[in-house]
């Protein structure tokens, strides 16, 4: 009897949760990686941002003015390339910690060796060998692809100053770039990672596409008034597309290749170094002034401690971004994108940079960014909204329904079993949001 009472109480609790319009997921300790990412991204941006004029002044007497911006972009490319190599340190530390339990490792190796010897006698195991060879080839191709994508997402900024030597690469905060990046990341996850979208995910995707279109219209109007360079938007778009694809394929390598984040960063950095060396050699051959790499050397020698700090902060920023991808998914990257935009805005405000945007335009953009952030939260089911039955097929809602149905197996009470057999209770759950009178009718019928 007491068991039946507790079942009824649990049943009523679950039912009240299912009827709720908003669900909040439990806090996850892995969210600490977002805080770490925010700290090191802001630090890395500040290191480059705050010392930007000093770098110009230190080499302006040795280098032509038209080459200064290109030298800074190349310096950024080299430091970001070298930074990922620091993943070697945590990789070997982790490997050493895992190797402490030598007995278990030896047992596993012995079992694997025995299984391998046993399987060699079987003809049909050739299929498994072929499949493993295919996986190895796919793994190698994906590693190369991620390295190439990493280079392609960094190279557009260098390309901009290769073509437009004296133009500074800047764009005002709260532009259409962030909602575009969010929408692209969702699309890449859908097509590359085959992540299934439910009602809330589609709602969030179309919400961010709508916000992107609204801000894009504002950007076009602002560009025509103030004669802004549209090439800046194109370069940013290329960077965003390649980065989104890279994160999606990187997640596949972590899942299917059983790679640690540290090993992935090492492999990616190794491929990136080769591509950067090839590009540098080609550029060195065709460079007429022969002073670009001289300027890079001067910057490194004059700002050696700052460069080391930049490499270290860039490594930690990338590390925590990939840890977020590992623990969650690339669809959590939009949180980082939104924080980047806020960081740029804060740094611009501190340094006194003024935009040619009107007050109403800035306020509209901030409001739309807040809505976009809410959309990202909804997309990742951190908060589940069950208005118009939007949350009915989310993981949280389905878990609640499963717990509700599980009570059927925990009771011997004939009355409760009958109610489950006639599906009256489950009909209440599905129809309460549409017709709240059903609950009263069911209560009166049971009485």
Q: What is the pLDDT of residues 176-230, one digit of tens each?
A: 999 999 999 999 999 999 888 888 888 899 999 999 999 999 888 887 877 677 7
pLDDT band at 426 (very low <50, low <70, confident <90, very high): very low
Is residue 79 situated within a structural domain?
Answer: yes
Task: State the pTM of this model.
Answer: 0.77
Q: Which residues of 126-139 are buried (b: 16+ CB within 10 A; e: fewer)?
A: eeeeeeeeeeeeeb
**359 & 418 share domain:** no
Q: Is the pLDDT of residue 104 over 70?
A: no
Tokens representing 242 are: 């390649």
Q: Is the pLDDT of residue 240 over 90?
A: yes
**80 & 127 share domain:** yes
> pLDDT value at position 446?
40
Among the ranges given (32-46, 94-108, 129-143, 358-372), the one the predictor scored with the smallest mean pLDDT: 94-108
**105 & 37 share domain:** yes
Provide CB contacts within 8 A for 370, sequence distance 6+.
Answer: none
- Provide the domain limits for residue 13: 2-21+393-446
> pLDDT value at position 419?
52
pLDDT band at 431 (very low <50, low <70, confident <90, very high): very low
Is residue 30 situated within a structural domain?
Answer: yes
**138 & 237 share domain:** yes
**314 & 413 share domain:** no
Give the DSSP letter of residue 26.
Answer: P
Alpha carbon of residue 436 to chain centroid = 40
Is residue 248 situated within a structural domain?
Answer: yes
C-alpha distance from residue 335 to each of 172, 180, 371, 388, 397 (Å): 19, 13, 13, 26, 24
Is residue 319 situated within a structural domain?
Answer: yes
**272 & 317 share domain:** yes
Is residue 387 situated within a structural domain?
Answer: no
Provide CB contacts within 8 A for 255, sequence distance 6+.
Answer: none
Q: Count other C-beta atoms under 10 Å from residue 184's C-beta.
A: 19
- pLDDT tens digits along 154-183: 999 888 888 887 777 777 788 899 999 999
pLDDT: which is higher, 366 or 110: 366
- Work out the percent of the chain whose per-residue pLDDT is above 70: 67
In the chain, the number of structural domains is 2
**211 & 334 share domain:** yes
**201 & 117 share domain:** yes
Is residue 386 situated within a structural domain?
Answer: no
pLDDT: which is higher, 245 or 378: 245
**11 & 35 share domain:** no
**411 & 301 share domain:** no
**128 & 200 share domain:** yes
- Mean pLDDT, range 272-282, rounded to an integer: 92
**302 & 417 share domain:** no
């Amino acid at each position: 009897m007491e068991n039946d009472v507790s079942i009824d109480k649990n049943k009523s609790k679950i039912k009240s949760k299912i009827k709720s319009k908003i669900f909040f997921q439990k806090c996850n300790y892995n969210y600490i990686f977002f805080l770490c990412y925010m700290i090191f991204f802001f630090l890395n941006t500040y290191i480059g941002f705050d010392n930007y004029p000093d770098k110009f002044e230190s080499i302006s007497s040795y280098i032509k003015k038209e080459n200064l911006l290109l030298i800074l972009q190349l310096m950024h490319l080299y430091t970001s390339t070298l930074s990922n190599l620091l993943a070697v340190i945590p990789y070997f530390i982790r490997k050493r910690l895992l190797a402490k339990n030598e007995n278990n490792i030896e047992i596993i190796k012995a079992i694997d060796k025995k299984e391998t010897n046993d399987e060699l006698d079987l003809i049909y195991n050739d299929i498994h060998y072929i499949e493993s060879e295919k996986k190895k080839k796919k793994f190698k191709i994906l590693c190369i692809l991620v390295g190439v994508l990493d280079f392609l997402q960094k190279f557009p900024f260098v390309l901009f100053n290769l073509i437009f030597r004296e133009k500074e690469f800047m764009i005002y905060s709260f532009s259409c770039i962030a909602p575009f990046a969010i929408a692209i990341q969702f699309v890449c996850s859908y097509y590359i990672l085959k992540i299934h979208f439910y009602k809330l995910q589609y709602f969030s995707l179309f919400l961010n596409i709508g916000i992107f279109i609204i801000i894009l219209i504002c950007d076009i109007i602002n560009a025509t008034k103030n004669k802004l360079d549209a090439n800046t938007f194109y370069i940013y778009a290329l960077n965003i597309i390649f980065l989104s694809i890279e994160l999606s394929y990187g997640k596949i390598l972590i899942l299917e290749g059983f790679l640690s984040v540290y090993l992935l960063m090492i492999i990616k950095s190794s491929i990136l170094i080769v591509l950067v060396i090839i590009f540098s050699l080609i550029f060195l051959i065709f460079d007429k002034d022969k002073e670009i790499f001289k300027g890079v050397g001067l910057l490194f020698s004059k700002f050696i401690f700052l460069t080391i700090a930049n490499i270290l902060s860039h490594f930690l920023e990338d590390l925590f971004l990939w840890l977020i991808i590992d623990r969650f998914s690339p669809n959590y990257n939009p949180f980082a994108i939104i924080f980047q935009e806020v960081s740029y805005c804060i740094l611009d405000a501190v340094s006194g940079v003024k935009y040619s945007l009107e007050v109403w335009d800035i306020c509209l953009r901030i409001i739309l960014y807040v809505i976009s952030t809410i959309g990202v939260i909804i997309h990742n089911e951190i908060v589940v909204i069950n208005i118009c039955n939007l949350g009915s097929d989310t993981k949280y809602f389905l878990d609640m329904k499963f717990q509700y149905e599980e009570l059927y197996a925990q009771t011997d009470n004939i009355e409760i079993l009958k109610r489950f057999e006639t599906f009256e209770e489950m009909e209440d759950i599905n129809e309460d949001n549409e017709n709240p009178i059903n609950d009263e009718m069911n209560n009166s019928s049971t009485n």
